[in-house]
Structure 1
Amino acid sequence: MKQREVTDQHGTTWTCVQAYAGVDSAAAEQATELAQAADGSVTVVCTPSGGAQTKRLDLAADWLDSLTDDELKNALDAA
């Protein structure tokens, strides 16, 4: 499972992973494909290290490679 970690301006470390990405099965693979929206976005779940609540983000399908840390932090702030 590929994931990214970023630390925001409050010192909270967020671990972000695409929904369904860590499950190894044919059903999970199909769910991942079906989870992609018509505009090409996917749901990314970000879990905090501290007392903040988990956030769900709609990001471009290539978010792991194309999104900078600052862009990911801005998406977390906006959520």
Structure 2
Amino acid sequence: MNWSSQELNQVLGEMMRSDDASYRELAQQVSTILAEEMPVIPVVFYTQQVSVNQRVQNFQFDPFENNYRVSEMYLAQ
């Protein structure tokens, strides 16, 4: 693709040296730069919904849908 952005590289460098307070603001800047400059258009978005019974304990949501750690879940009495 051969795409690069000096501004993006600068902000990423600042993120590496930042504290927690400024990290989120810099991350937002990165997202904005990518959305405005990157030569790729996302074509698919979806939302994931999960329902879990209150009796199920130790449920861990996995946003990547790779592993819900079923072996670590149990039912409360």
> Normalised by the shorter chain, which TM-score bucket?
under 0.3
TM-score w.r.t. the length of structure 2 is 0.21
Greater RCO between the two (CA within 8 Å, min separation 6)?
A: 1
TM-score w.r.t. the length of structure 1 is 0.20
Q: Of Structure 1 and Structure 2, which has the larger fraction of its residues in strand? A: 1
